[in-house]
Amino acid sequence: MRLLRVLTAAIGLAALLPHTSAAQAGRQFKDAWFWGIKTGGLVYSSASTTNSAAPMLGAEWLITRSRGGLYVSFDQAFLSTTGTFLDRDPDSTFTRSVSLKNMRRLAIAAMVFPMQSAKYHPYAGFGMSLNQIGGAAFQTGFVNTVRYQIALDSVQSKKASFSPIIIAGLQARLTRFSVFGQAAVSPIQQNFFLYNSNSGSAFNASLETGIRYNFGSSIDRAR
């Protein structure tokens, strides 16, 4: 609902700016600089769930050239689940549970733009993403502060992970802005909380849709 209000406000703002919109309509897809907002869903697994879905919001930046470009995005998935880690006492090793809240993703990818037309712009990209759990809380207490600090170090090491990311999508040009839909897939590292060795799948996947606005040329033209 939050992003629907944002999208509605953005569309309304575009309608109130006819001169800017006319400029948008005259700009080409290549050699352009786009800002966008999006919504979608993330499919994830954890120690307590397999292939669950979480709503996601995000903002992005796309720079295009004739055949390639650069893509940067920041997303947040709204989830609540349970993760685990191995806690080692001096004389034993056991699994401890942690309550996890939300996940943030920063992605950077190199893009290619095959089979372009005046209105439709398919694209694909490959890059890296940083995935980070927003919050983690222990579900049980500790006998002393030393044991707590050791467990906290273990949690911190599993809250964030770098991973490759593959993106594929289609952008359609409208009069005032462009709309797009895309999918993104990332393999999940075993040392990350959102990894489930029993799920049969070691990937997170997201489906996203949103709007992009062309703010002008991405190159400095000779004067």
The structural domains of the chain, ordered by start, are: 2-215 (2.40.160.20)
Mean pLDDT of the chain: 85
Q: What is the pLDDT of residues 138-157, one digit of tens each?
A: 988 887 888 888 889 889 99
Q: What is the pTM of this model?
A: 0.81
Nearest to 187 by CA among 202, 206, 167: 202
Strongest mean pLDDT among 14-28, 95-109, 129-143: 95-109
Q: Are 86 and 154 in contact (CB under 8 A)?
A: yes
With 0-12 CB in 10 A as exposed, 13-18 as middle and 19+ as buried, what is 198?
A: exposed
pLDDT digits (tens, 9 = 90+) for 6-62: 444 544 544 444 444 444 555 789 899 999 999 999 999 998 888 899 999 999 999
Q: Considering only residues 107 and 17, tell me which one the structure prediction assigns the higher pLDDT.
A: 107
Measured at the CA of 58, the angle between CA 213 and CA 11, to 5 degrees, comes to 40
